[in-house]
Amino acid sequence: MKIVSYNVNGIRAALKKGFMEWLIATDPDVLCLQETKAHKDQLDLSLFEEAGYPFHYWFSAQKKGYSSVAVLCKKEPNHIAYGTGIDYMDQEGRNLRVDFDEVSVMSMYLPSGTNDARLGYKFTYMDDILEYLKELRKEIPNLVVCGDYNICHQAIDIHDPVRNKTVSGFLPEERAWMSSFIESGFIDSFRHLNKEPDQYTWWSYRANSRANNKGWRLDYAMVSEPLKDKIKRSAILSGAVHSDHCPILLELC
């Protein structure tokens, strides 16, 4: 299975920048999207169907133009889980899961901590989603959680770890949570296969950051431990430029 995850920072804006051509060329079996910022009735869904994705699922925030996730599939899943059942999360459209025979794939958009109120919200979400996923894996052991985690785990994952150590996304508490997440039974598939520095998935629009590769690795394909031997490839697709993020790819054999 070829899985791609992409924070598109607005699917309608990405569509105007050649997103469909990129999707057809990349040809994933499953595409997880985050920050779509759209409801289904705001999109021409036939575009995705004509591109080979007749099974597409959208979980949108109550607030229009905000947050929201989606999953596009070539094959029909056995089951689709919209949200987590945790009200405050689901109001912002942050989790959507599709279940197949051998693996389940979740698109997750973890909050950013842009101010004190949102940082508190982020920490609450982090605690609750970790407990939710621990329980979920008892039922579904073969689980992939793709998406924008809004956290850089290690110094290697950010261009300037010293100056950013007090910035949300690289706070000690956030990094410790990411370690706890992995220790709970997940594998960071990219770092499992790739140890090189300067590998990022998000760049600020300011100060020519992307051209200078002053970025952050915020996007992950986390794979539950029973799938470890199935990890064939994990890559960052930095050539895609429809967003301030770029997509990530995971291939399972």
Give me the active site residues, please.
Answer: 148
Q: For 126, list phi and psi in degrees, rounded to 5.
A: -55, -45
Report the phi/psi class of residue 52: left, alpha or beta, with left for phi > 0 and alpha for psi in -120 to 50. left
| Farthest CA pair distance, the chain | 47
Q: What whole-number distance in Å separates Cα of residue 101 and Cα of residue 239?
A: 32
Report the interhelical angle of 172-183 vs 116-139 (nearest 10°): 0
> Quick one: DSSP state of residue 40?
G
Angle at 81 between CA 126 and CA 101, to 5 degrees: 110
As given in the structure block, the two tokens for residue 84 are: 């987590």
